[in-house]
Structure 1
Amino acid sequence: MTDSVTAPMTPLEAAADPGVLATGVPLDVADHYRDLGAWTGDTHWQLFRRAVDQWPSDCAAIDRTRSVTWAELDTGVSRAAAVLADAGVSRGDGVILQLPNSIAYLETVFAVWRLGAIPVFSLPAHGSGEIRHFAAHGPARFYVSTARPNKHLTRVHRDITAADTDIDLTVILVDETAPWTEAASLPVPDAVEVPPSELAFLQLSGGTTGVPKQIPKTHDDYLYSVRASVEACGLGHGDVLLVALPAAHNFTMSSPGILGAVQVGAAIVFAADPMPTEVLPLIAAHRVTHLALVPPALISLLNFPGRGDYDISSVTTVWVGGAKLSEAAARRVTPELGWRLQQVFGMAEGLVNYTPLDASIEEIVSTQGRPMSPWDEIRVVDDDDVDVPAGTPGNLLTRGPYTIRRYHRAPEVNARSFTPDGFYRTGDIVVVDGRTLTVVGRAKDQINRGGEKIAPEAVENALLMHPGVHDVSVVGVPDEILGEKIRAFVILRDGAGAAPTPTALRKFARESGLASFAVPDIIDIVDEFPLTGVGKVSKKAQQQ
């Protein structure tokens, strides 16, 4: 084990109310979860060190350019920590991570935890608008991204470093093919001990507001969710996990994900994206045993004409979540791929459900599973918070040992997202049979495009910045592959010069700082919006 030092808390870590944790969990409830054995006092840095100590010579991770053992990964983490510390990263600092799937991502996130700093997770598809929000709201002083950006990230880098930007970020760019070369002349900082009850990172949530909400997680509660996921999913030492979805996604990190692989010493193989042309060769080359996909990626795999050219027989389990998987697609998985399907229904805020590995085929294909923890509490209520009879659709509320009771610095959102006694309003309409959940709809006004949650307001605000646009209404419309597509109805402004075309408006949205997955799929130029009886825009009519 490396030497360690202890340093005081910073404002980012501290809860505003001294009677609760950063997650909003009261201190007496936290003690209850410790007494139950759910919270064991573990930290993410300790989790990593155990893996290094137990399996130093085993393969830890593989990407397009490198393959490293756990000992070699540890060396990379030390070098990354040296570079970050030299840039000024220290205990309690917020560090925005916007990196592609790579070993460098692993080195960076564990280096941040080694320094006692706090990762602020961002997806490669996020735009400069989101990065500015994370910097101001976290707050975060540092931004780590790739030195080999694609066109989208080039725009992000340009926007956040512009002379007239309203944020002050220290930018650190990492070349994933040869990272941390500048570390050779730098001292390696000691690991910093942090209490397991403190803020471990800020994760992201979709929603109905214009920017993603930030989800606070402690080491105690998040690592419990990882352990529970490993138990529910059967991931073990010697397995090979393919990471095809964005590494910073909650699904990818913990269900059981990257951290589950670290816990059991499974090898991690990074894919650049979840498309069949990327995933299939990696499965065959590295004898992948487990992978996680969102429904659109799974359907693309099922329908890929060249699938038979690859040996994919090593895969035992595919986890599918992020959006509801249709029963028709679910029934195809085992007969056509030879893989065991495990449906995952969860949220970054907390509750995670899995279909049991030994469940009947009917439960696997037609439900979204059971809560993974015996201490997950669920209620199904009507719009007045009155419990509905068993088997009746209703609003899903939940609380438990890994579910937050408030968002980070969002009191107005918290007032409507959580009940006074700490239940989280998930926004899902479900039917519960015993402990088995079936999702039948969404109560919240958000678009679920292939597992990415998009706030219509954010897309509307981006398009409204165009000088030729008078008004915008954005809705989700059904799509067989993505689940939902983004459709924007646009009223143009009279006398504003040449009228923009739908193509021009999509380009404008893409360049506005909007996340790439939030750019409208369809734009309709209209003269007026349909209205309800009380004069509001009828989004229901627009979805038909």
Structure 2
Amino acid sequence: MTPVLDGCTPWPEEFVDRYWAAGHWRGNTLDNLLRGWALQYGPRTALVHGGTRITYAYLNRRVDRTAAGFRLSGLRPGQRVVVQLPNVPELVITVFALMRAGALPVFCPVPHRAPEVSHLVRVTQAVGYVGPSTYQGFDHTAMVADIAARGPFLRRVFTLEAPGAASPYGGMTADPSGCHYIPLGSLDAPPERALAQSADQVAFFLLSSGATEAPELIPRTHNDYAYQARAAADLVSLTENDVYLAALPAEVDFAFGCPGIVGTLSVGGAVVLVENPGPAHCLELIERERVTITSVAPAVAELWLGALPTVQADLSSLRLVQIGGAPLPRATAARIGAEWSCRLQQGFGMAEGVLTLTRPADPDGTVLSTQGRPLSPDDEIRIVDADGKDVPDGEPGELLARGPYTVRGYYRAPDHNARSFTPDGYLRTGALARRTPDGNLVVTGRLADVPPPAAAG
């Protein structure tokens, strides 16, 4: 096995052997999987954004040429790059291109500002940043320039729009701190020979969320994330005829790989990217693009339900709506199936990996009132009391989890890891849950004083 990235906690060898033997881990990197998808589904539509439609073949070519551009700009394998982009095709292209170049994307929500972004740069020693020049009135370039001037790491800033006048040297400008500013669209170079990469290494970093303090970094490997997206796609019978609406921010695990963007691309479906989850825009998109599956938070679902009489969009293409991130009132859950004529899937998940979902064939009572069962047969779930002892079914307690796609530690956070993981590797989710007699989980809230991690919605 390839040595693990410094600062990451590996799975113990016995678990590595178990997950390989079960076929969960298959040894292919996410960017290399994209090559196979492009060969298989080349002329099919992969990404839709506004009037832009991108085929699988074109997506893979852009990833190839952007990866070569990243390398020409000075990025080296193993270096970290903060990616702070909205739901636009450039986000998908950038993430896969960085992985193909051997660099490690660090997903960063667009609303994050200097305190969070500088924290990510400092902890990961990120040498690069990819983001909009300005977005919704905020100057991202000025924010990043200030961060670069205050630290020794950040020296490459790739902007979605050129941040000023044309440069006399190939579109690149530099500031007094030595930080270079490069239009993202200028990263276009002939593809180089593919790097030899290991699928047991980190593919990218997700962030914990909801904490009052700085977010923790969650290292997800190619093996574990490819398995999660594939298993989630299989669970909902995703096919090349499906159209997934990415209404949640793409850096949210639920939207990126549950099955989300990665799972949809893995079967040849189309991903519709939307920056505004507002009901008028999204409901019209569902009608226009014949969307079959989407994932939203309960609050967004309620907004959509309330707007449907006014918008009056045709939602007959929808077959499945995934809900996660917070408890869903049973009355709201019942309305989704009745008013949208589609199946509801409830779930609980975290960017750290653990994911429970109801099944499409579950009875209505299970779908309306539980968060389902673990995604993987090798997910290990415990519900424990304050002393760490397992409680009987039906009794509430803290949900603990470990498995083939649940990390064993946060990045460069030994003190936090000591609090967040048991000695035998279970993640302490901080979620209060109980298990029903038929094995489904009902997540009822949070332990007192435990901030929520990155939930599935």
Q: Same fold by TM-score, threshold 0.5 exceeded?
A: yes
Structural mapping, 1:73-472, within 5 Å: 73-152=59-138, 154=139, 156-162=140-146, 164-166=149-151, 168-169=153-154, 170-175=156-161, 181-183=185-187, 186-206=189-209, 208=211, 210-304=213-307, 306-433=309-436, 434-443=438-447, 445=449
Aligned to 1:64: 50
Preserved CA contact (<8 Å) 1:200 1:217 = yes
State which structure, 1 or 2, has the greater radius of gyration over its C-alpha atoms.
1
Structure with greater contact order relative to length (CA < 8 Å, sep ≥ 6): 2
The residue type equivalent to 1:165 in the other structure is R
Q: Distance in 2 between matches of 1:421 and 1:43?
A: 28
TM-score by length of 1: 0.76
Q: Distance in 2 between matches of 1:161 and 1:308?
A: 43
Aligned to 2:36: 50
Aligned to 2:180: none
Preserved CA contact (<8 Å) 2:210 2:452 = no
Preserved CA contact (<8 Å) 1:83 1:180 = no
Q: CA deviation at 1:307?
A: 4.7
Preserved CA contact (<8 Å) 1:428 1:441 = yes
The residue type equivalent to 1:27 in the other structure is E
- Encode CA deviations 1:115-141: one digit per residue, 9 max, x unaligned: 111111111111111111111101211
> SS of the counterpart of 1:422?
coil
Could you tell me which runs of 5 or more consecutive residues in structure 2 were left unpaired when the two chains were aligned: 163-182
Q: Distance in 2 between matches of 1:198 and 1:78?
A: 20
Deviates more, 1:167-176 or 1:211-220: 167-176
> SS of the counterpart of 1:120?
strand
Q: Distance in 2 between matches of 1:91 and 1:288?
A: 37
Change (3 A) 1:180 1:168: closer
> SS of the counterpart of 2:245?
strand
Preserved CA contact (<8 Å) 1:207 1:213 = no
Q: Distance in 2 between matches of 1:224 and 1:104?
A: 24
The residue type equivalent to 2:58 in the other structure is E
Q: Distance in 2 between matches of 1:344 and 1:106?
A: 24
Change (3 A) 1:164 1:324: same
Does 2:17 correspond to 1:14?
no
Preserved CA contact (<8 Å) 2:26 2:223 = yes
- Encode CA deviations 1:398-431: one digit per residue, 9 max, x unaligned: 1111111111110111011111011110101111
Does 2:26 correspond to 1:35?
no
Q: Distance in 1 between matches of 2:327 and 2:152?
A: 38
- Encode CA deviations 1:248-307: one digit per residue, 9 max, x unaligned: 111111110111011101101111121102201211111111111011110000111555
Structural mapping, 1:485-524, within 5 Å: none
Preserved CA contact (<8 Å) 1:122 1:204 = yes
Q: Distance in 1 between matches of 2:293 and 2:456?
A: 22
The residue type equivalent to 2:47 in the other structure is A
Preserved CA contact (<8 Å) 2:70 2:187 = no
- Encode CA deviations 1:38-79: one digit per residue, 9 max, x unaligned: 111121012111110101111111102411111111222123
Q: Distance in 2 between matches of 1:432 and 1:370?
A: 9
Preserved CA contact (<8 Å) 1:38 1:224 = yes
Q: Distance in 1 between matches of 2:229 and 2:373?
A: 16
Change (3 A) 1:245 1:140: same
Deviates more, 1:58-67 or 1:199-208: 199-208
Preserved CA contact (<8 Å) 1:159 1:165 = no
Q: Distance in 2 between matches of 1:244 and 1:229?
A: 18
The residue type equivalent to 1:323 in the other structure is A
Change (3 A) 1:276 1:386: same
Change (3 A) 1:246 1:27: same
- Number of residues of Structure 1 aligned to a counterpart in Structure 2: 433
Identity %, equivalent residues:
38
> SS of the counterpart of 2:150?
coil
- Encode CA deviations 1:81-119: one digit per residue, 9 max, x unaligned: 233222212211111100111111111111111111111
Q: Distance in 1 between matches of 2:439 and 2:10?
A: 26
Q: Distance in 2 between matches of 1:88 and 1:371?
A: 42
> SS of the counterpart of 2:135?
coil
> SS of the counterpart of 1:389?
coil
Q: CA deviation at 1:168?
A: 3.5
The residue type equivalent to 1:392 in the other structure is E
Deviates more, 1:124-133 or 1:438-447: 438-447
Q: Distance in 2 between matches of 1:422 and 1:32?
A: 15
Q: CA deviation at 1:354?
A: 0.7
> SS of the counterpart of 2:47?
strand
The residue type equivalent to 1:445 in the other structure is D
Preserved CA contact (<8 Å) 2:66 2:94 = yes
Preserved CA contact (<8 Å) 1:135 1:167 = no
Preserved CA contact (<8 Å) 2:283 2:311 = no
- Encode CA deviations 1:413-453: one digit per residue, 9 max, x unaligned: 10111110111101011110242000122015356699699
Q: CA deviation at 1:323?
A: 1.5
> SS of the counterpart of 2:195?
strand
Aligned to 2:177: none
The residue type equivalent to 1:438 in the other structure is V
Q: CA deviation at 1:150?
A: 2.1
The residue type equivalent to 1:301 in the other structure is W
Q: Distance in 1 between matches of 2:453 and 2:303?
A: 15
> SS of the counterpart of 2:219?
strand
